[in-house]
Chain A
Amino acid sequence: MTATAEELAEGTRLRARKRRQRLMVDAGLLVFCVLMLMPLVFLIGNAFKTPQELLAWPPTIIPQDPTLENFRIALAETSLLRWLGNSIAFALSSTAAIVATSAITGYVMAKFPFRSINVLFFLFLATAVVPFEVYMIPLYFQVRALGLLDSIGGLLIGYLVMSFGIFLIRQNTIHSIPDELIEAARVDGAGELWIFWHIALPLLRGAMGALAVLAFFQAWTAFAWPIVVTSREQHYTVEVGLALFQTGYTVDTGLVSAASTIVLIPSVLVFVLLRRNFVQGVASTGMKE
């Protein structure tokens, strides 16, 4: 059976229409993406502007007379680098704590089906819906009692465990580590800890990576907790430092933008490098059962 000329023409028309449609979708998405990025572009542009140009009307997007002065002041005359250091230390230690506690707990919850363990699991999961801000104030007094206010340790106490992390590792263990594998190791006389360390952990690497990125960004963007726990500026995280940059002062848009730009670099860099982990991590939050 051969296609008639008419049918062929119809096919070409359809393909052409499809291509046009695709082009339109691409154009629309591109415009939308540019709009989404626009605020950040503005921010970076402002970082390079002189005070005069910042007062110009209409506002410019690309600086006419770019200057590095704002960056110089941000780096030399403020504690920005110190805050960045604090944020990085806080986010890394929080990530380590969350990954460690989630890995072992999630693994046990998946592979050791005791009733008591299951009860614990639901307890963990149930408190996941309690927003941090709700119990932040009592927690503040606990941190104070330990004398850990104004320290990375104090910040960390709010971010040691993550219910979702336990859930994530548990789901991954169920899906990616067959019971037979563990049983075989047991038959060979391996200890439980050895099995966890040498068999389970390597298989959970992907999930742990995703969790690590999530945990890092959770701590990195924390705001309410650091603003309560830290009260001396050398202990601020970047988020708090930048927010307080602008209260009570004549807002120096150039300086604030330069400081923000410096802060954006690590977060965007980490995101672009670990995008796949991140997307996988976030996506898995949506895959309930």
Chain B
Amino acid sequence: MLRRRKWMFAVLAVLPTLAIFAWVRLYPIAEMFNLSLRDWDLLSPRRPFIGLENFIDLFDDRLFIAALINTTIIALGVAIITIPSAIVIAALIHSRAGSKLAPFYETAIFVPHVVSLVPAALAWKWIFDSELGPLNAFLGVFGIDPVAWLHNPTLAVLCVIVLCSWQALGYAVIIYLVGFKNLPVSLYEAARLDGASARQSFWFITVPLLKPITLYVSVVILISGFNVYAQPFVLASDTQGSPSHLVRVLVYDMIENSFSNFRIGYASAEAVILLSIVMIITVIQFSILRDRSGR
């Protein structure tokens, strides 16, 4: 009787959320798979089923491949820059945990993560400006010729990586700081008694113990890296006065195919591929975690 009442309450309480969830998440995800197998131009009432044709076309599409490569480079680049620097910075902040400056460190490093994306990207756009930007002015002090950061296809991708890393770093540092707080102090004391230097305990105790956190952070950063859109949109889309090199990323390509080229089915197929990439990353993370706990 009581169990039944509890069950009723649970179901009624969860029902609204479940309904919203089904409607704003499960249904569109299913619909995305459905559309990816169809040819639809947004305007026509007909949406003929064309099997895997969209996917076959995608792998023959220069722009999609370019977007896929750019996005992968950006996602990996951000992870490679952010994670090591976040560990070091979190370690340094942790070592000064009691100091009055610690809240300032945390705030300063974290602010880039919370400020609106677009203003931040606009600031960086000015920094990278080849004509007027402070970066070239700074390099000029050392006699380095001005570099056209946003015009060169390779450098433009690098600029996007720098901007994304700047924004992601704060997040990674905060999570690592939690990790540092949870490290067993006794282990370090034992290591010190054994004559290990600070650097040695960092490499041989801290880094391995933080592995689950590193894994988690890297997955979060990789996934958000694959979804990057606003940063290249602001930094490296075309503007009249100062055209820069367009850094095509997956989400950009999806939106262009949907709303400029009127190819909804095709864009949905891109979305399915994006989802597969994210799934693969997640599965890899879980299997590594399971390996560890299995041992």
Chain A contacts to B: CB under 8 angstroms? 22, 25-26, 28-30, 32-34, 36-37, 39-40, 42-43, 46, 54-59, 61, 101, 104-105, 107-109, 112, 114, 116-117, 120, 123-124, 127, 129-139, 141-142, 157-158, 160-161, 166, 186, 192-193, 196, 217, 220-221, 223-224, 227-228, 238-239, 242-243, 246-251, 253, 256-257, 260-261, 263-264, 267-268, 271-272, 275, 278-279, 282-283, 285-288
Contacts and interface: CB of A to CB of B under 8 A. Distances in A.
Contacts of B179: 286
Given A127-B25, A133-B229, A285-B175, A268 B111 contact: yes
Contact of B278 (A37, A129, A271): A129
Contacts of B110: 271, 275, 278-279
Most central of A107, A117, A130, A287 by chain B CB within 10 Å: A130
A104 B17 contact: yes
B255 A224 contact: yes
Given A59-B137, A223-B230, A249-B241, A283 B116 contact: no
Nearest to B119: A260
Nearest to A135: B28
Interface residues of B, number: 100
A42 B230 contact: no
A224 to B, nearest CB: 5
A285 B179 CA distance: 12
Contacts of B229: 133, 223-224
Contacts of A221: 114, 116-117
Interface of B: 2, 5-7, 9-11, 13-14, 16-18, 20-21, 23-29, 31-32, 35, 89, 92-93, 95-96, 99, 101, 103-112, 114-120, 122-124, 126-127, 131-134, 137, 140, 166, 169, 171, 174-175, 177-179, 212-213, 216-217, 220, 223, 226-227, 229-230, 233-234, 237-242, 251, 254-255, 258-259, 264, 267-268, 271-272, 274-275, 278-279, 282
Given A32-B89, A127-B29, A223-B229, A271 B9 contact: no
Most central of B25, B106, B124, B275 by chain A CB within 10 Å: B25
